[in-house]
Amino acid sequence: MSIFRRVVNTFSRSKLHQEIDAEIQSHVEMRMADSIAAGMSPEEARRDALIRFGNRVVMRERITAADAATVLDAFGRDLRYAARQLRRSPAFTATALITLIVGIGANVVVFSVLNALVLRPLDLPQPTGLYNVVHQQPAYDNHSYPDYVDFRSKNSTFTDMAAYRIDMAGLSRTDAAYKCWYYKVSGNYFDMLGVQPEHGRLFHASDEHGPNSAPYIVLSHDFWRRHFDSDPRIVDATVDINKHPFTVVGVAPAGFHGPDLFFWPDFWMPIVDSPDPEDTNFLSNRGSHNLWILGKLNPGVTPQQATDNLTAIAQELARQNPADDGLSARLVKPGLMGDMFGDPARSFLAGVMLLAFLVLLAACANLASLFAARTADRSRELAIRLAIGSSRWNVVRQLLSEAVLLSVLGGALGTFFSTILLNGLTRWQPFPEFPIHVTVSPDPKVFLVALLLSIASGVLCGLVPMRQIWATDSAQVMKSGGGAAIVLRRFTLRDLLLGIQITLCTLLVTASLVALRGMQRSLHARLGFHPQGVILAETDLHMGGHSGASIMPVRKRMLEEVGRIPGVTSVGIIDETPLGTGGSTSPVYREGTSDFRMSNSAFGARFFSISPGYLQAAGTRLLGGRDFTWHDDAKAPNVAIVNETFAQRMAGNTSALGLRFALGEKYSYEIVGVVENGKYESLTETPWPAMFFPLEQNPDSDTSLVVRSPLPTAEIVPELRRTLAQIDPSLPFVFHSWPDALAFVLFPARVATAALGVMGLLAAMLAVTGVFGMAMYVVSKRMKELGIRVALGAQAVQLMRSALSRPLILLLSGSSAGLLLGVMASQLLAQIVYQATPRDPLLFAAVLTTMAVLGLVAICIPAQRALRIDPAGLLREE
Amino acid sequence: MARNDLQGTLDLLVLKTLSQMGELHGYGIVLHIQRASDELLSVEEGSLYPALHRMEMSGWIRSEWKVTDTNRKAKFYRLTPAGQKELQSAEKSFEQLVKGIRAILRYA
């Protein structure tokens, strides 16, 4: 009740005052009437009545002292006063605001990304209890279809389990053809995720009747809108996928794009069906690990219980099937393609979040020293306020209101700018050929974090000058006029703050330079091929309706025709280029192995199929033996070319040429050549065994033409396109230069470098403003002293030394400390960027140079100001 | 231990006055206390009104604008049930205070 009334009073403050006045008035009148009745003169009676109340305003204040109104009113007054103070010193306000925008903006951006990728639940109707089932080994995510079926039917901890994989195909209608990315999913997929169709129907488990029994697709809302003009009549229409007829049974609801955060498929197809009939063999092959399992836990079951349950099933399967040897299960949070991107993304984001937080800390240190300096400047004003009776708490509250007002304003602006940036990021499609969107728009949680960060940094910075206020002796301050000169001799809190700030900034600059250097190194790392000067023309012959025996003649014709194009120096074919998006690994067995289970294999090796001439076109050096010829065909003995690591593992230091190895019971190969090591899946991988097979002995429909030519891309591509169209006009080709194609592999490193680079840049800005502010302040405080020195004949060098030695010492010690911390944080950095090692003399030099240059830039203007002191003018002023 | 301060005593006087007189305005309270204590106690206006406002905020008393016998508008206060309870505990603690002071005076 009373609280309610207090709050009501807040809103009707003037009414309350009127009421109090009226009450006092009536009291006065009643006493006057009594006094007059007792014989006083009216004049006397009025004086007597009024005098009992004393000062009317003070009275009123005393009556309402207990109201919430008073507190809130004072707060409003503080805010208004704070705004006025800030308006009066625009330079200070602008510096502080920019600092805050940088600090809080960086955090909002990084937190939004973290929120979108890790914290926010999946954008599905029922996201709780969903987990991807992956293997125990990190980054080994995929299971085989038979294993999926067994996991699903034998477990007791999941409501249901669905399987899905990503594939690419050409979708064509009478008048148009599109290259599409799509999900192949088990029939129960939509039902498990609780999705309802926008139009038509979705397919269900009951539609599956063995391989190639369900030629249906469900279009994504976005694809339907873009290419079918949102026409509901598409339901039950037939489209061709890789030239095989499929029925469009329905359209998925808007916004539904499956469990992967980035990936926006064009349509969904039952996993039992395929546009290429022989492509359904994996359904019965336990060795083909090519799909993700997504499970929904039973209510009340913990992930640990489910893992134990699945592990038991995996062990049983491994006993029964040799191909399942070593099978294991682990649950991971879905959203980032199983664990493939999940772990690296999570640790990267955590690292960047930490760096962003350091930027904010540095910004706060900057701000705190600004506030401390400002408080010292205003010491006279504060002393006067204390002297005329303001309580110290009032003064602190005043300064705190200024700090919080500033920080909330800065936070709002920072959030505003980051929102623009994030919306841009959401619209950005990093790879035009992949349906990848990163939706990172901020949500209420982000805004809340921004507000909390703003207030926290405001309070933190505002409290720093508190000690100064408590120590203020008003009489002393007013006597000495400024009072700050004495403080300058000592090592102050401000110095400490600047030191901390420079340390943090150096740490960040170190981190960003480490990233840049790592990036530069990874660009110059030996890839095992030379991408410069190579154009790739990629296609899948299945999309042109070719299969089996008709594939090789088409490929041979392509090589012949393309080789005849003027300006083409060499050309070859590989099924999938190394460092591309595909690539497979197979266990390798020594000659004589009879028991082909996983644990008996010598090692795993990546494998590729190549045509004669590929090695030359790709620029891969042949270290020994021979390249393939067209005589290495299906009828000839099986041969292979292996890389150095493979040869070394197989033969030690002796020559591997002529040795034999096996991939399975019927698959025995002779090593006929050895090539240099390369990178096959990522730039960060350690040297890994790899083997190359002749195209004809390892048939596949994926075809990447590797065309080396000194001609510019723009000239060679139209020529290539025309030549290839003559061979088969229906084949969709993707043309790009090999360096461009590598962009996908380099993407994480690029993002990391960009993120760290921006952090470093922000830190550099903060360092400059910090040192600048400090040096400027010192010089302005000591104008008089410096003027006297000049008048007494001090040289420029002496002047500089006394004015700027302190900022320089701080810069030097802060930088060293930051560099030291950077070296100690190398483990963290190595997680984020490839080949990040701060133990690099060049890097040390670069960091120190950067900090020195930043210091010089920051000190330049204050130094000039100190040098330009006109002693005569200064002394006259005093 | 009894809560004892001057404010508490003033509260007690005001609450007791209102419980005896039912409904009264500020000036009336001043006069009543003066008269009932045989002019021994006089409540100062400067303390009375802050106390009345505070007690009203605490929900012990309620106020209402009314017209007096002499046809003036005045704010009349009356006790609430919560005020009744507060009065009882204030009386009890005052008794203890008096007992305590008396004991000390006797000892000395």
Tens digit of each residue's pLDDT (9 = 90 or more) over A240-273 = 887 788 888 888 888 888 887 777 888 888 888 7
Residue A303, CA distances (Å) to A118, A132, A296, A335 in order: 18, 11, 10, 17
CB pair distance less than 8 Å for B46 and A54: yes
pLDDT reading at A336 higher than 80: no
Tokens of A385: 């306020």
User: Cβ neighbours of residue A548 under 8 Å, at least 6 residues apart?
Assistant: A278, A699
Category of B65 on φ-ψ map: left (φ > 0), alpha (ψ -120 to 50) or beta:
beta
pLDDT reading at A331 higher than 60: yes
**What pLDDT score does A720 carry?**
87
Q: In this structure, are residues B61 and B52 in contact, taking their beta carbons and an 8 Å threshold?
A: yes
CB pair distance less than 8 Å for B57 and A30: no
Sign of CA dihedral A231, A235, A237, A243: positive
Mean pLDDT of A468-475: 68
Q: Closest residue of A to B25, CA-based?
A: A27
Check if the interface score ipTM surpasses 0.90. no
For the ranges A178-187, A274-283, A765-774, B68-77, the lowest mean pLDDT is seen at: A274-283
pLDDT reading at A685 higher than 80: no
CB-based burial label for A128 (10 Å; 0-12, 13-18, 19+): exposed
Q: Which residue has the higher pLDDT, A528 or A490?
A: A528
The amino acid present at A561, given as its one-letter code, is E
**What pLDDT score does A93 carry?**
84
CB pair distance less than 8 Å for B53 and A54: no
The segment with the largest mean pLDDT, out of A294-308, A783-797, B49-63, B77-91, is: B77-91
Q: In this structure, are residues A95 and A370 in contact, taking their beta carbons and an 8 Å threshold?
A: yes
Q: Is B53 on the interface with A (CB under 8 A)?
A: yes
Chain B residues in contact with A31 (beta carbon < 8 A): 27
**What pLDDT score does B104 carry?**
87
Q: Which residue has the higher pLDDT, B56 or A482?
A: B56
Chain centre to alpha carbon of residue A401: 34
Q: Is B54 on the interface with A (CB under 8 A)?
A: yes
The amino acid present at A161, given as its one-letter code, is M
pLDDT reading at A396 higher than 60: yes
pLDDT reading at A70 higher than 60: no
Chain B residues in contact with A52 (beta carbon < 8 A): 44-46
Whole-number CA gyration radius for chain B: 15
**What pLDDT score does A428 carry?**
74
Q: What length does chain A have?
A: 878
Tokens of B46: 């400067």
Q: What length does chain B have?
A: 108
pLDDT reading at A790 higher than 50: yes
pLDDT reading at A826 higher than 70: no
User: Cβ neighbours of residue A14 under 8 Å, at least 6 residues apart?
Assistant: none
What is the pLDDT of chain A when averaged over all its residues?
79
How many CA atoms lie within 13 Å of A360's alpha carbon, on the beta-carbon side? Answer: 27
**What pLDDT score does A488 carry?**
46
- Percent of chain A at pLDDT > 70 equals 88
pLDDT reading at B18 higher than 90: yes
- Where b means 16+ CB within 10 Å and e means fewer, A85-97 reads bbeeeeebbebbb
- The Cα–Cα gap between A875 and A877 comes to 5
Closest partner residue to A53 among B46, B58, B74, by Cβ? B46
pLDDT reading at A485 higher than 50: no
For residue range A14-44, what is the model confidence (pLDDT) as tens digits? 677 788 888 888 888 888 888 888 888 888 8
Q: Is B75 on the interface with A (CB under 8 A)?
A: yes
Q: Which residue has the higher pLDDT, A363 or A140?
A: A363
**What pLDDT score does A135 carry?**
79
For the ranges A69-78, A420-429, A499-508, the lowest mean pLDDT is seen at: A69-78
Residue from A652, A644, A637, A355 nearest A505 by CA = A355
CB pairs under 8 A between A and B: 57
| The B73-79 sheet, strands edge to edge | B23-25, B73-79, B61-67
- The Cα–Cα gap between A394 and A400 comes to 10
Q: In this structure, are residues A131 and A297 in contact, taking their beta carbons and an 8 Å threshold?
A: yes
Provide the 10 A C-beta neighbour count for residue A524. Answer: 8
Tokens of B64: 């209402």
CB-based burial label for A386 (10 Å; 0-12, 13-18, 19+): buried
- The Cα–Cα gap between A159 and A197 comes to 22
Q: Which residue has the higher pLDDT, A395 or A417?
A: A417
Closest partner residue to A53 among B45, B56, B72, by Cβ? B45
Q: In this structure, are residues A603 and A689 in contact, taking their beta carbons and an 8 Å threshold?
A: yes
- The Cα–Cα gap between A493 and A500 comes to 11
Q: Closest residue of A to B57, CA-based?
A: A2
pLDDT reading at A692 higher than 90: yes
Q: Residue A436 gets which letter from DSSP?
A: B
Q: Is A609 helix (H, G, I), strand (E, B) or coil?
A: strand
Tokens of A491: 């090592």
**What pLDDT score does A491 carry?**
58
Question: Residue A165's beta-bridge partner residues?
Answer: A184
pLDDT reading at A136 higher than 80: no
Q: Which residue has the higher pLDDT, A583 or A154?
A: A154
Chain A residues in contact with B50 (beta carbon < 8 A): 62-63, 65
CB pair distance less than 8 Å for A26 and B70: no
Q: In this structure, are residues A310 and A153 in contact, taking their beta carbons and an 8 Å threshold?
A: no
Category of A619 on φ-ψ map: left (φ > 0), alpha (ψ -120 to 50) or beta:
left
Residue from A453, A454, A492 nearest A471 by CA = A492
User: Chain A, 28-57: which have a CB under 8 Å from a chain B CB?
Assistant: 29-31, 33, 52-54
Q: Closest residue of B to A60, CA-based?
A: B50
CB pair distance less than 8 Å for A30 and B50: no
Tokens of A401: 């209101």
- The Cα–Cα gap between B7 and B29 comes to 16
- The Cα–Cα gap between A663 and A646 comes to 14
Please tell me the distance in Å from A16's CA to the nearest CA on chain B: 11
Provide the 10 A C-beta neighbour count for residue A687. Answer: 15
Q: In this structure, are residues A759 and A356 in contact, taking their beta carbons and an 8 Å threshold?
A: yes
Please tell me the distance in Å from A10's CA to the nearest CA on chain B: 13
CB pair distance less than 8 Å for B74 and A1: no
Q: Residue A691 gets which letter from DSSP?
A: E
Chain B residues in contact with A33 (beta carbon < 8 A): 70
CB pair distance less than 8 Å for A30 and B68: yes
Alpha-helix runs per DSSP H in A321-391 = 342-377, 379-387
Q: Is B36 on the interface with A (CB under 8 A)?
A: no
Sign of CA dihedral A502, A460, A407, A415: positive
**What phi, psi does A176 have (nearest 5°)?**
-150, 155
For residue range A609-650, what is the model confidence (pLDDT) as tens digits? 899 999 999 999 999 889 999 888 888 888 999 999 999 988
CB pair distance less than 8 Å for A27 and B50: no
Mean pLDDT of A268-294: 76
Please tell me the distance in Å from B102's CA to the nearest CA on chain A: 33
Tokens of A631: 């005589």
For residue range A208-237, what is the model confidence (pLDDT) as tens digits? 877 777 788 888 888 888 888 888 888 888
State which H helix or E strand residue A251 sits in. Answer: strand A244-251
How many CA atoms lie within 13 Å of A151's alpha carbon, on the beta-carbon side? Answer: 33
- The Cα–Cα gap between A784 and A786 comes to 5
The CA-CA-CA angle for residues A320, A324, A328, to 5°, reads 110
**What pLDDT score does A835 carry?**
59
- Percent of chain B at pLDDT > 70 equals 93
**What pLDDT score does B88 carry?**
92
For residue range A196-206, what is the model confidence (pLDDT) as tens digits? 888 888 888 88
pLDDT band at A7 (very low <50, low <70, confident <90, very high): low
Among B49, B56, B64, most A C-beta atoms within 10 A, so best to mutate, is B49
**What pLDDT score does B76 carry?**
93
User: Cβ neighbours of residue A218 under 8 Å, at least 6 residues apart?
Assistant: A190, A197, A200, A202, A203, A248, A249, A250, A251, A252, A267, A268
**What pLDDT score does A878 carry?**
54
Chain B residues in contact with A1 (beta carbon < 8 A): 59
Chain A residues in contact with B44 (beta carbon < 8 A): 52
Q: Closest residue of A to B60, CA-based?
A: A2
Question: Residue A570's beta-bridge partner residues?
Answer: A708
Residue from A218, A159, A209, A158 nearest A185 by CA = A218
**What pLDDT score does B1 carry?**
40
**What pLDDT score does B3 carry?**
44
Provide the 10 A C-beta neighbour count for residue A201. Answer: 16
Mean pLDDT of A415-430: 81
pLDDT reading at A8 higher than 70: no
How many CA atoms lie within 13 Å of A130's alpha carbon, on the beta-carbon side? Answer: 24
pLDDT band at A346 (very low <50, low <70, confident <90, very high): confident
